[in-house]
């Protein structure tokens, strides 16, 4: 079943995964070619984090994810945990948080440990879901001082779960703290069998024209 909020990639988007191969991805550890298994147009987390070869500054990311159901005795952070790291530094949490009444900073749709989702937009486990993330890179002055923090707006299954949320710094497990540099999309292998498909990034300019 296709995700209901799915839009085709806009012109200029970089398709990072179309279901056929991982040519756009490398392993976090060692930098070799990514080798997550692909089946039915989806990749499954296995053997460590992977990251895109392309690096991005300001962008719109679309990604679809699937959290398999877990046995009832598996709780909280053990339920289909993964994550989508923006610039390899800021994690949008992936977790089976279906039915969680008041989701917190560790739940699905959170900017991990910084900002809980505004609403619980999760579908049941064993269903495809989507994230659309609009990321605004932090701004620096000529002297290299940060003058504006990174910001992210996140739609989960078409619902806003992060509204232009400030990111005060990197989240746990970040690749680096090189905030002024472009960074990749990083997908977390947290030891669960989470799947991803239809991954694209549309780079955005830092600003529009300054004329009227």
Residues forming contacts to Mg ion in the complex (CB under 5 A) are: 81, 83
Of the pair 14, 27, the CB lying nearest Mg ion is at 27
User: Smallest gap, in angstroms, from Cβ of residue 106 to Mg ion?
Assistant: 8
Of the pair 52, 81, the CB lying nearest Mg ion is at 81
Of the pair 83, 138, the CB lying nearest Mg ion is at 83
Output the six-digit token pair for 23. Answer: 């040519």
Owner of token pair 């296709």:
2
Contact between 135 and 86 under an 8 Å Cβ cutoff? The reply is yes
User: Smallest gap, in angstroms, from Cβ of residue 190 to Mg ion?
Assistant: 5
- The sheet with strand 50-52 has its strands ordered as 25-27, 50-52, 186-187, 82-86, 90-94
Non-local CB neighbours of 59 within 8 Å, separated by 6+ positions:
134, 135, 201, 202, 203, 204
User: Smallest gap, in angstroms, from Cβ of residue 14 to Mg ion?
Assistant: 24
Q: Residue number with the shortest CB distance to Mg ion?
A: 83
Of the pair 14, 186, the CB lying nearest Mg ion is at 186
User: Smallest gap, in angstroms, from Cβ of residue 75 to Mg ion?
Assistant: 15
The total number of residues written for the chain in this structure: 212
Of the pair 14, 52, the CB lying nearest Mg ion is at 52
How many Cα atoms are found within 13 Å in the side-chain-facing hemisphere of 83? 28
Q: From the DSSP assignment, how many helices (H) and strands (E) are in the chain?
A: 0, 15
Contact between 62 and 198 under an 8 Å Cβ cutoff? The reply is yes
User: Smallest gap, in angstroms, from Cβ of residue 187 to Mg ion?
Assistant: 10
């Amino acid at each position: 079943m296709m995700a209901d909020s799915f839009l085709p990639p806009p012109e200029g988007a970089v398709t990072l995964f179309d279901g056929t191969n991982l040519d756009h991805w490398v392993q976090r550890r060692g930098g070799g070619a990514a080798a997550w298994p692909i089946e039915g147009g989806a990749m499954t987390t296995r053997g460590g984090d992977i990251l895109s070869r392309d690096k991005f500054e300001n962008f719109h990311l679309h990604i679809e994810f699937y959290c398999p159901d877990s046995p009832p005795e598996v709780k909280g952070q053990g339920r289909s945990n993964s994550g989508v790291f923006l610039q390899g530094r800021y994690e949008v949490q992936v977790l089976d948080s279906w039915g969680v009444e008041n989701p917190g900073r560790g739940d699905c749709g959170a900017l991990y440990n910084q900002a809980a989702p505004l609403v619980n937009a999760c579908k049941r486990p064993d269903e495809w879901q989507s994230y659309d993330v609009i990321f605004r890179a932090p701004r620096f002055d000529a002297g290299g001082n940060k003058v504006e923090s990174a910001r992210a707006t996140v739609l989960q299954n078409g619902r806003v779960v992060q509204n232009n949320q400030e990111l005060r710094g990197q989240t746990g497990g970040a690749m680096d703290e090189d905030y002024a540099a472009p960074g990749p999309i990083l997908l977390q292998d947290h030891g669960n069998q989470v799947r991803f498909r239809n991954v694209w990034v549309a780079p955005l300019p830092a600003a529009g024209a300054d004329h009227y």
